[in-house]
């Protein structure tokens, strides 16, 4: 029996807008949260101890994180090297530089040449000798259309046809790996992909557009005893009959408010040939709380807001207060009191929405009577959305690419 810890989507260095600077360390508290949560995964790997750790991809928000973010990640995984626990790091879409053409942020770990510390940046099979015997890991990193197809092949094809062709190509490539497998050794498929049955989390906001979806039937092959996935941030098993389990462990920390209600954790697996028993282990991560109140019908909107805040556990949480009111109620709101009440949260935002404005175009610049360049319209819209601030630049880049019909950019986005 081989014991495995499967984690994914660490996204170390993201969500800084939900944190604040820790005056003692000078670091953003969300970086400290992510590092602390990753350390709990590594603690468990060492205390068990497991025979193998597999990481499903997306180490950082992009492939060129600043050095202190890289260190926070490497500092935890180096503990596995010290504990002599073999580790496989798979490359996700966020780890690829210029969509794979320029290498990946995790490639440096292979360059170091640490024994049994493997980087999965291509479709390949790795036979790993663990303390409890050998195991095979087939690595399938994030694939883009340009990895599998040339531009001339995709010309004049619809998106549906392209997906079909990609699926066929990948099936053939995977078949090649499957034929090389030793049928007597426990086998894992470790893949960063969007499966066609997955329920989405924040990743749908993190990647503009979508890549191609992989049918679950391509993964549920009898040669695989456990299918370890990464990419989708919501934990789920895509094959309830468990023959084999097809598991997204999800992200280890909440990346944004879309993950507010999700449990976060990692998966422990007991593996033998023909059988995988797995268990989702939750992590005690920082709480996100949305307080949403409609006070537009209230005589006393301030007391409604105070009551709503009082009813919510906000201590040390990342909080957003969203309330709807009429413009003539604005004078009834005591912002200083709201700030004072929310002060015990870890961080908070207050987002008032004027209901009288909801019926009309919210931005006068975007009135239907004005003709405006689509890109300017998007800029105007983004300027009005404080909550999209972090995404604004990449959204504009993506829009420019799409509007310009630039195939290069289209491929990068998709």
Residues lying near Mn ion in the complex (CB under 5 A) are found at 58, 92-93, 231
Nearer to Mn ion, 93 or 412 (CB): 93
Residue 170 pairs in a beta bridge with none
Dist CA 347 CA 40 (whole Å): 23
Give the nearest distance from C-beta 207 to Mn ion in angstroms.
7
Nearer to Mn ion, 18 or 231 (CB): 231
3-state SS, residue 70:
helix
Nearer to Mn ion, 151 or 210 (CB): 210
Give the nearest distance from C-beta 56 to Mn ion in angstroms.
9
Nearer to Mn ion, 55 or 348 (CB): 55
Quick one: tokens of 283?
A: 């992590």
User: For residue 257, which of 41, 17, 33, 92 has the smallest C-alpha distance?
Assistant: 17
Give the nearest distance from C-beta 119 to Mn ion in angstroms.
16
Nearer to Mn ion, 231 or 234 (CB): 231
Give the nearest distance from C-beta 303 to Mn ion in angstroms.
44
CB 107 within 8 A of CB 135: no
User: For residue 346, which of 388, 286, 305 has the smallest C-alpha distance?
Assistant: 286
Quick one: tokens of 182?
A: 């030793």
Instruction: Name residues whose C-beta falls within 8 Å of residue 233's C-beta, 6 or more positions apart in sequence.
Output: 9, 201, 202, 203, 250, 251, 255, 259, 262
Nearer to Mn ion, 62 or 272 (CB): 62
- Segment 193-199 long-range contacts (CB within 8 Å, at least 24 positions apart): 193/140, 193/142, 193/143, 193/229, 193/231, 194/231, 194/232, 195/219, 195/229, 195/232, 195/238, 195/246, 197/238, 198/232, 198/234, 198/236, 198/238, 198/248, 199/232, 199/234, 199/236
Nearer to Mn ion, 58 or 253 (CB): 58
Nearer to Mn ion, 231 or 286 (CB): 231
Give the nearest distance from C-beta 284 to Mn ion in angstroms.
24
CB 201 within 8 A of CB 251: yes
Phi and psi angles of residue 164, each rounded to the nearest 5 degrees, phi first: -60, -45
Torsion angle defined by CA atoms of residues 291, 293, 299 and 302, in that order, rounded to the nearest 10 degrees: 20
Give the nearest distance from C-beta 379 to Mn ion in angstroms.
27
Give the nearest distance from C-beta 11 to Mn ion in angstroms.
9
Nearest residue relative to Mn ion (C-beta): 231
User: For residue 220, which of 237, 202, 199 has the smallest C-alpha distance?
Assistant: 237
Question: How many other C-beta atoms lie within 10 A of the C-beta of residue 196?
Answer: 15
Give the nearest distance from C-beta 32 to Mn ion in angstroms.
23
Residue 246 pairs in a beta bridge with 227
β-bridge pairing 187-192 and 124-130: unpaired
Give the nearest distance from C-beta 58 to Mn ion in angstroms.
4
Give the nearest distance from C-beta 44 to Mn ion in angstroms.
23
User: For residue 246, which of 230, 262, 258, 260 has the smallest C-alpha distance?
Assistant: 230
């Amino acid at each position: 029996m081989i014991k495995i810890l499967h984690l994914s989507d660490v996204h170390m260095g993201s969500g800084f807008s939900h944190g604040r600077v820790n005056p003692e360390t000078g670091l953003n508290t969300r970086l400290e949260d992510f590092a602390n949560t990753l350390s709990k995964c590594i603690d468990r790997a060492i205390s068990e101890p497991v025979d193998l750790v597999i990481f499903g991809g997306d180490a950082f928000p992009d492939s060129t994180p600043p050095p202190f973010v890289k260190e926070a990640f490497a500092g935890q995984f180096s503990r596995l090297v010290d504990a002599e626990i073999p580790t496989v790091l798979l490359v996700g879409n966020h780890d690829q530089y210029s969509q794979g053409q320029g290498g990946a942020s995790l490639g440096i770990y292979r360059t170091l040449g640490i024994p049994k510390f493997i980087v999965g940046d291509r479709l390949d099979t790795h036979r790993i000798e663990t303390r409890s015997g050998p195991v095979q890991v087939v690595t399938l990193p994030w694939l883009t259309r340009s990895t599998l197809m040339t531009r001339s092949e995709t010309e004049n094809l619809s998106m549906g046809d392209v997906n079909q062709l990609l699926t066929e190509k990948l099936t053939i490539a995977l078949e090649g790996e499957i034929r090389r497998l030793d049928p007597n050794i426990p086998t894992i498929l470790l893949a960063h992909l969007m499966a066609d049955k997955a329920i989405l989390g924040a990743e749908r906001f993190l990647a503009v557009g979508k890549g191609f979806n992989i049918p679950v039937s391509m993964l549920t092959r009898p040669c695989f005893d456990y299918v370890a996935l990464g990419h989708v941030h919501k934990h789920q098993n895509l094959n309830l009959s468990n023959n084999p389990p097809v598991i997204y462990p999800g992200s280890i920390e909440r990346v944004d408010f879309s993950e507010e209600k999700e449990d976060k954790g990692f998966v422990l697996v007991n593996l033998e040939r023909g059988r995988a028993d797995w268990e989702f282990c939750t992590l005690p991560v920082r709480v996100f709380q949305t307080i949403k109140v409609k006070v537009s019908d209230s005589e006393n909107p301030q007391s409604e807001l105070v009551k709503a805040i009082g009813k919510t556990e906000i201590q040390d949480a990342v909080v957003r207060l969203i309330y709807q009111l009429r413009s003539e109620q604005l004078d009834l709101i005591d912002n200083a009191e709201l700030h004072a009440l929310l002060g015990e949260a870890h961080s908070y935002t207050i987002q008032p929405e004027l209901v009288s404005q909801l019926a009309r175009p919210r931005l006068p610049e975007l009135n239907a009577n004005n003709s405006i360049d689509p890109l300017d319209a998007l800029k105007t819209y983004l300027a009005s959305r404080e909550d999209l601030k972090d995404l604004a630049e990449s959204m504009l880049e993506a829009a420019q690419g799409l509007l310009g019909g630039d195939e290069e950019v289209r491929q990068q986005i998709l």
